[in-house]
Chains A and B, each alone.
Chain A
Amino acid sequence: MVLRGYVNATGDGLEISVQGMMTQLGIYDIHAQNLMHFGLPGYQRKDPVVTSFVEYLGPNGVDKAVSTEIGRIRQSGNPLDCALNTKGYFQLMNADGTVELTRDGRMKMDKDGFLRSVDNRPFLSASGVPVQFSVIPTELEKQVKITANGDVTLYNLKTGKIDYTERLGIVSETGSVADKVDVKQGFVEDSNVMLQNEYTAIMPLRRQFEANRQLFIIQNDTLSRMIQELGRAQ
């Protein structure tokens, strides 16, 4: 702030303190999102990245980076649940034909034999078409085998032969075919959010927020005292 008479009182101090508080909130928002999606299978945590000159940019200077760390893998008992034990993504097809990547491998079979995600979007095979069983399996746990490299195989219990086989389309984040995959049938990958890490990350955030707030209050007090003193000076 510049007072008339060329007394440079507090510079941009007040403004910077406010931006500081806003920045802490922006970072806190990312951690809060992680914490809220802690129990969501396949969710990938976001790590906050702060750029230079964040004191001027405020929350606009905070960006998030998706963590590709593999989450906790747990047994689910459902034969159509798949967990990816390597980096990579399953592909889902949206209603408008666009492809979305996900690490959530919970599948279900619809009446036409399509393998669908929990929110009813079909999984794509390596050849880019939705995975659809040619014969509808009656006993999923006995008939459907998904191998480590992502091959979905359907056994015929009567003839002992393989009725259908198709490879799941697993790609890297750039969209190219993942070269090394490890699919675990009957397992679900939980989010890769670590509760303890998130909470330890937001504890200093709170203190930093308080520090900025204190600085704002001090500067505000100093400024008002200065205005009063200057007003008294004859």
Chain B
Amino acid sequence: MLDHIMQTAAFNATKQFESLEKVSQNVANMNTYGFKNVRFDQYLDASNQLNGTQREDYAQGSVQVTGRPLDVAIEGPGFLPVTQPDGTTAYTRDGSLALNADGYIVSNRGDIVGNGIKIPDNYQEVLIDKTGDVKVKTTAKSDPFKVGHIDLVRFNNPEGLQSIGYNKLLMSDDSGQPIVDTDSKIKQGNLERSNVNVFYQVDNILRLNASVISNFRIVKFSDDLYRQAVNLRQ
């Protein structure tokens, strides 16, 4: 009985450490643009054992003005599709874009945005309107002309998207197919900050700390009883 209690307590403590890992991930990424808060929700599974699952919170982050013409923030549930070097499509909310050597708009990881939007070499100014139309002015006074369009997509269940690091996500069976999103707005010259709420993180740390300590107290307590039970002859 005692060894069972000790094992479960130690196992639960490791699960709490896993939760703490997510909290530190959130705090570390508090200033990462487009980062979404992750949680580790714990539950008792069918065999009455503590288990947990990682969940992302896709609520809108606050939008910060940067003034850089290739910074775009997404207002709404949309994602920015990017084509990775191997040809697969990934999705991101991080809109700090740039131009690569060939003149294409790329993400900050160097992935081409959409199917490739080429900006002419002689451009003076890039304009991205809220619907995603990318226009270019060649001289300060000339009329802007359209060179491409950023198609935003959304998912029925964004929580089901698979994270592959670098703030990028892949479609999965759980997320559903990408749907063209015309409701979300693009804001040029802005970036979306992370939606991490530091107060919730502190609250989480305090609760997890209490949980870890109480689990280890149980291990210690059980160990004391164990020793006494073994040394019955003294």
Does B bind A? yes
- Chain A 14-44, CB-CB to B under 8 Å as 1, else 0, gives 0000000100011011001001111111010
Which of B9, B156, B218 meets A112, CB within 8 Å?
Answer: B156
Q: Quick check: A32 and B222 within 8 Å, CB to CB?
A: yes
- The answer to whether A38 touches B210 (Cβ under 8 A) is yes
Task: Give the nearest-CB partner of B59 in chain A.
Answer: A141
**Contacting pair B154 A138 (CB below 8 A):** yes
Among A76, A113, A141, A217, the residue within 8 A (CB) of B234 is A217
Q: How many residues of B contact A (CB 8 A)?
A: 52
- Give the size of the chain A interface in residues (CB under 8 angstroms): 46
Whether B45 contacts A111 by the Cβ 8 Å rule is no
A222 contacts the other chain (CB 8 A)? no
Determine the chain A residues whose CB is within 8 A of the CB of B55 once the complex forms. Answer: 108, 118
Give residues 188-234 of B contacting A (CB, 8 Å): 197, 200, 203, 207-208, 210-211, 214-215, 217-218, 221-222, 224-225, 228-229, 232-234
On whether the beta carbons of B221 and A202 are closer than 8 Å, the reply is yes
Q: How far is the CB of B134 from chain A (nearest CB, A)?
A: 24
Report yes or no: B210 in contact with A110, Cβ–Cβ below 8 A. Answer: no
Kindly list chain B residues whose C-beta atoms are within 8 Å of the C-beta of A29.
Answer: 1, 5
- CB neighbours (8 Å) of A195 from chain B are 210, 214
Of chain B, the residue at the smallest CB distance from A74 is: B203
Cα–Cα distance between A105 and B178 once the two chains are bound (Å):
29
Within 8 A of B (CB), among A123-175: 136, 138-141
Shortest beta-carbon distance from A134 to chain B in Å: 13
Q: Are A77 and B197 in contact (CB under 8 A)?
A: yes
Of the candidates A21, A59, A111, A202, the one having the most CB atoms from chain B within 10 angstroms of its own CB is A111
A37 to B59, CA, bound (A): 29
Q: How distant is A207 from chain B, measured CB to nearest CB, in Å?
A: 11
Residues of B within 8 A of A216 (CB): 232
B232 touches A119 (CB 8 A): no
Q: Let me know if A104 is at the binding interface, CB within 8 A.
A: yes
A136 to B179, CA, bound (A): 12
Q: In the bound complex, do residue A21 and residue B229 qualify as a contact, i.e. CB atoms below 8 Å apart?
A: yes
Residues of A within 8 A of B5 (CB): 28-29, 32
Contact of A28 among B76, B225, B234 (CB under 8 A): B225
Tell me whether A36 and B12 are in contact in the complex, defined as CB-CB below 8 angstroms, given that A25-B1, A111-B157, A119-B53 are known contacts: yes
In angstroms, Cα B45 to Cα A117, docked, is: 12
CB-based contact B51/A111 at 8 Å: no
A71 to B211, CA, bound (A): 16
* Contact of A213 (CB < 8 Å), options: B156, B174, B222, B228: B228
Closest chain B residue to A190, Cβ basis: B207
Candidates A26, A36, A78, A108; contact of B9 at CB < 8 Å: A36
- Give a binary string over B1-20; 1 marks a CB under 8 Å from any A CB, 0 the rest: 11001001100100010000
CA distance A113 to B217 in the complex (A): 43
B234 and A119 contact, CB distance less than 8 A:
no
| Interface 0/1 of B43-73, CB less than 8 Å to A | 1110000110101010110000000000000
B43 and A220: CB pair below 8 A? no
Partner of A119, one of B43, B203, B210, B211: B43
Q: Which residues of B contact A108 (CB under 8 A)?
A: 55, 159
Are A111 and B214 closer than 8 Å at their CB atoms? no
Judge whether A39 and B208 touch: CB under 8 Å: yes
Q: Does B144 lie at the interface of the complex (its beta carbon under 8 Å from any beta carbon of A)?
A: no
State whether A138 and B208 are in contact (beta carbons under 8 Å apart), knowing that A118-B41, A220-B233 are contacts in the complex. no
Q: Which residues of B contact A (CB under 8 A)?
A: 1-2, 5, 8-9, 12, 16, 41-45, 50-51, 53, 55, 57, 59-60, 76-77, 154-157, 159-160, 174-176, 181, 183, 197, 200, 203, 207-208, 210-211, 214-215, 217-218, 221-222, 224-225, 228-229, 232-234
**Pairs A–B under 8 Å by Cβ, sample size 20:** A21-B229, A29-B5, A35-B218, A36-B214, A36-B215, A39-B207, A40-B44, A77-B200, A108-B55, A110-B157, A110-B160, A111-B176, A112-B176, A113-B156, A119-B45, A139-B60, A141-B59, A202-B221, A206-B221, A209-B228
Interchain residue pairs A-B with the least CB separation, the first 5: A111-B176, A39-B211, A111-B157, A111-B156, A118-B41
Given contacts A39-B210, A43-B44, A136-B156, 18 further A-B contacts (CB under 8 A): A26-B1, A28-B5, A32-B5, A35-B218, A36-B12, A36-B50, A37-B44, A77-B200, A108-B159, A111-B160, A113-B156, A118-B42, A119-B51, A138-B183, A139-B77, A206-B224, A213-B228, A216-B232
